[in-house]
Structure 1
């Protein structure tokens, strides 16, 4: 496999008005190029299959440092293009046999890519995370158990444990209801909204529950309205974290455009 190369695909845009890739660096320090076909342009790099072939990738994807570095380089290219024109991001480490296969993709999936580009034109993605502190959500211990003193230490322990479990379940229920209210409010301002899986505390760096990890596609002229809605929801209670605007990763992907 040494010496063999593949074509790494980052993002697809309309050919008209697309920025030049000159000087743009992608994964593994490779220069970014453009492949044009059927009124579309794909931003790509030539990568060694000794690193990006199927078997090497299976090993590399388990290396968190490699994965982080590759993801940063990938997103750097996507952001550079998406900051200039509407663009459809492609999944991380999408590698084809060569430029001609990428050109064939643009031709075969032309209509799907066009639809995806139309969907995101004039719009950007915002992220909103909602956190809930279990300690604040839980009811006081005195309110959990009003049935009187336990008849023994074993019974007292069981009653305390059961009360704690009930309190935690109720706290999660209330937090989930609040998250749904936030999502519905923000989705009413956005063109589209999606709920992603909540991040593990090791990734979020928070001890609080993440009860909402939402993404929202918002018309550019409604950005201020969306931010005001987030501020209003903050005043109603709960901790909301707003990020963006971003390239619309959640709403314009190769999968949505029809992966070959």
Structure 2
């Protein structure tokens, strides 16, 4: 029975000729990674026992063994990170498996044009992530005191009888909440659009809840950017400037990277 092929990533074959593959242990912790040339593309892989690492057994471990999952996911991430420091890498998702080298070669060959385009896109670039958090109470205080829509509503309420004011103040609270969300989105989108101008590409990811981040604040924005290496310093300085300008109103901006270009490369 053929041994399974675990695929970490794809690199341009010409780069493999310029820099040897570092000695990195594979998924099972025994054999080293090796490469499989596929035309002008090289796959970085390791071999696995098909009985021990069948699709069914991996699903079972993923569902039932959190410690194993964390260990193996960390191994995959660290391996792809190490490769990305040396090569232009199209990183693959955790546990991308092929039954044999031939099935891998067919998959790469059928996606060759997309892979070559992606190499051109990400070469010389780094992926950076920006998570934006906002203390709603601080920003609400600023919005409540300076928003013309809210001020107009307050003025309207002040002209009403005491009985009517009670119900209208309930509406005012809802108006303040909606204006708060508009302000958060406006600030976040403006920052995102400006950062996109400094990057080759930028995209928006799903914001995480406070439960997922273990923070008091919900995440207001989650952006990812493909930045040319020569422009990274300017990119990060701009984020620091936004952080300084917005801190008084409850904003925190957290940039992280560089990461392998997971969000700007795909392999069907």
Match of 1:245? 258
Match of 1:59? 60
Out of 172, 179, 182, the position equivalent to 1:173 is: 182
Quote the RMSD (CA, aligned, Å).
2.8
Q: Cα deviation per residue 1:183-204 (whole Å; 9 max; x = unaligned)? A: 0010011000011111232332
Distance in structure 1 (CA, Å) of the matches to 2:24 and 2:34: 8
Out of 4, 11, 25, the position equivalent to 1:13 is: 11
* Counterpart check, 1:212 vs 2:221: yes
Higher helix share: 2
- Residue 70 of structure 1 deviates from its aligned partner by 1.9
SS of the residue aligned with 1:250? helix
Contact 2:209-2:218 at 8 Å conserved across structures: no
SS of the residue aligned with 2:262? coil
Instruction: Identify unmatched segments of 5+ residues in structure 1.
Output: none
Contact 2:226-2:261 at 8 Å conserved across structures: yes
Q: Cα deviation per residue 1:212-259 (whole Å; 9 max; x = unaligned)? A: 1111111112112212221222233132111112221111232xxxx1
**TM-score normalised according to structure 1 size:** 0.84
Aligned length: 250
SS of the residue aligned with 1:85? coil
* Counterpart check, 1:227 vs 2:216: no
- Residue 23 of structure 1 deviates from its aligned partner by 2.6
SS of the residue aligned with 1:28? coil
Contact 1:26-1:76 at 8 Å conserved across structures: no
Check 1:230–1:91 CA distance in 2 against 1; reply closer, same or farther (3 A cut). same
SS of the residue aligned with 1:9? strand
SS of the residue aligned with 1:212? strand
Contact 1:38-1:110 at 8 Å conserved across structures: no
Distance in structure 2 (CA, Å) of the matches to 1:53 and 1:177: 48
The farther-off stretch of 175-184 and 65-74 is: 65-74
Distance in structure 2 (CA, Å) of the matches to 1:235 and 1:70: 38
Distance in structure 1 (CA, Å) of the matches to 2:99 and 2:107: 12
SS of the residue aligned with 1:93? coil
Out of 102, 110, 113, the position equivalent to 1:111 is: 113
Which runs of structure 2 are paired with 1:153-168 in the superposition (5 Å)?
Answer: 163-168=172-177
Match of 2:88? 86
Contact 2:13-2:41 at 8 Å conserved across structures: yes
Distance in structure 2 (CA, Å) of the matches to 1:224 and 1:80: 21
